[in-house]
């Protein structure tokens, strides 16, 4: 693959040498995880038995939208949930998460965050922004991660002693210098919560993690899982939307909050996109296998140049985010500009750091997705703050991710900043 790409592009000799050295990582398998995920998705499709005529969908209010009904049932099967709410009107993972937490922990009730500071846009909506949930009366408690980067179960049990209404667990790193949590670690946190506060609803932010591991947090007792439909589950085809899945009564509660009590999940047209949602989910395991292979190449290549990377090359992955610690803002910008040159769309543009709603610091991003915000497609985000990490996401075709890694490394090489200090 490397040599085929080199026929079309010229790169710094050091980039070429190290890329060839790490090319064998692209042939690694995942120990059968993706095979188990593919079987899971296929079994759900067979059990659901969707017909072509089910996919036409509705407009307007969306009453009796068969595409929505069948897709949500299919998604619930895939995620091991009793019920799913998957809607275009939930415009992002953050939107779905805030709606879920507001429904589960209304004003006057307590929310405990079990996994340290949430990612920027969610923390902003919960605590910092005007009209945040805290400003509306939510009692908020944040439990820092342990010294190993995992859940601090002693501190979590202490925080849950007051019987919170809901407990939040963030599975992915969320553009922060912390590791992502495995499904098993999420499950251990759920067990701690249920032992101390059995009535608390445990909500897991599943974004970036769906179908990466063989099991989902619902199978470990999560009451709800929440995420975006234009990331893992969308298979690059879903045009928008987000989902909430899990306990049927809890999902109904979120639907009442999102729409209106008494209407709940009865509304919500699919606007003719039913086919894209269903086909995207069918293809998702295939796309994720490509994504994970490409991210492993990123890790291996930049580790060769002396950068700290997480996950390490060959390590088990729990989401579709690869962190590379570049060490200073100049390298972040060079990396982003190099990666942008490999994009399917907008490759001629040069990213500049700027303010992004919900983020505490300026952010430089690379993106050229066919669906805006679809980080299952190749992209990166880099907040300009210490320790100056770039977070590479997605890569629906492994060759595209490899090309992006080569362009990013070459941009650093051209400015004499390829190797870590």
Question: How confident is the prediction along the chain (421 residues), in pLDDT tens digits per residue?
Answer: 888 998 899 999 999 999 999 999 999 889 899 999 999 999 999 999 999 999 999 999 999 999 999 999 999 999 999 999 999 999 999 999 999 999 999 999 999 999 999 999 999 999 999 999 999 999 999 999 999 999 999 999 999 999 999 999 999 998 899 999 999 999 999 999 999 999 999 999 999 999 999 999 999 999 999 999 999 999 999 999 999 999 999 999 999 999 999 999 999 999 999 999 999 999 999 999 999 999 999 999 999 999 999 999 999 999 999 999 999 999 999 999 999 999 999 999 999 999 988 888 999 999 999 999 999 999 999 999 999 999 999 999 999 999 999 999 999 999 999 999 8
Beta carbons of 356 and 385 less than 8 angstroms apart:
no
- Is residue 98 within 8 Å of residue 119, measured between CB atoms? no
Q: Tell me the backbone φ, ψ of residue 42, rounded to 5 degrees.
A: -65, -40
Give how far Cα 172 sits from Cα of 204, 216, 286, 391, Å: 10, 13, 21, 11
Supply the pTM of this predicted model.
0.96
166-170 vs 110-113, strand pairing mode? parallel
Element (H, E) at 293: helix 274-304
Looking up tokens 């610091």 gives 361
Residue 227 corresponds to which tokens in the numbers above? 């995420």
């Amino acid at each position: 693959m490397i040599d085929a790409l080199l026929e079309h592009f010229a790169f710094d000799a050091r980039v070429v040498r190290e890329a060839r050295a790490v090319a064998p990582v692209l042939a690694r398998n995942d120990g059968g995880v993706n095979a188990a995920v593919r079987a899971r998705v296929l079994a759900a499709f067979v059990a659901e038995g969707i017909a072509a005529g089910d996919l036409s969908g509705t407009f307007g209010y969306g009453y009796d939208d068969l595409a929505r009904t069948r897709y949500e049932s299919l998604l619930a099967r895939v995620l091991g949930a009793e019920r799913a709410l998957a809607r275009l009107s939930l415009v992002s993972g953050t939107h779905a998460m805030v709606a879920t937490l507001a429904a589960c922990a209304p004003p006057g009730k307590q929310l405990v965050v079990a996994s340290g500071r949430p990612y920027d846009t969610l923390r902003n909506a919960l605590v910092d922004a005007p009209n945040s949930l805290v400003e509306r009366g939510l009692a908020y408690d944040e439990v820092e991660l342990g010294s190993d980067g995992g859940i601090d179960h002693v501190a979590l049990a202490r925080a849950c002693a007051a019987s919170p209404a809901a407990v939040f667990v963030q599975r992915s790193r969320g553009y922060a210098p912390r590791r992502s949590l495995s499904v098993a670690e999420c499950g251990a946190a759920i067990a701690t919560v249920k032992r101390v506060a059995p009535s608390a609803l445990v909500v897991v932010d599943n974004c970036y993690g769906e179908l990466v591991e063989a099991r989902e947090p619902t199978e470990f007792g999560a009451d709800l899982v929440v995420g975006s439909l234009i990331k893992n589950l969308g298979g690059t085809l879903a045009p928008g939307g987000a989902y909430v899945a899990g306990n049927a009564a809890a999902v109904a509660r979120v639907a009442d909050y999102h729409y209106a009590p008494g209407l709940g999940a009865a509304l919500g047209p699919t606007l003719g996109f039913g086919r894209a949602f269903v086909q995207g989910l069918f293809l998702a395991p295939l796309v994720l296998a490509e994504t994970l292979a490409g991210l492993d190449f990123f890790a291996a290549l930049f580790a060769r140049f002396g950068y700290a990377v997480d996950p390490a090359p060959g390590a088990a992955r729990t989401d579709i985010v690869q962190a590379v610690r570049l060490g200073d803002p100049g390298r972040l910008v060079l990396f982003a500009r190099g990666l942008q040159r490999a994009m399917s769309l907008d490759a001629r543009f040069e990213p500049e750091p700027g303010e992004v709603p919900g983020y505490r610091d300026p952010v430089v991003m690379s993106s050229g997705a066919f669906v805006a915000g679809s980080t299952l497609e190749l992209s990166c985000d880099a907040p300009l703050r210490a320790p100056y990490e770039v977070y590479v996401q997605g890569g629906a075709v492994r060759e595209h991710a490899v090309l992006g890694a080569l362009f990013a490394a070459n941009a650093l090489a051209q400015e004499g900043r390829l190797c870590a200090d």
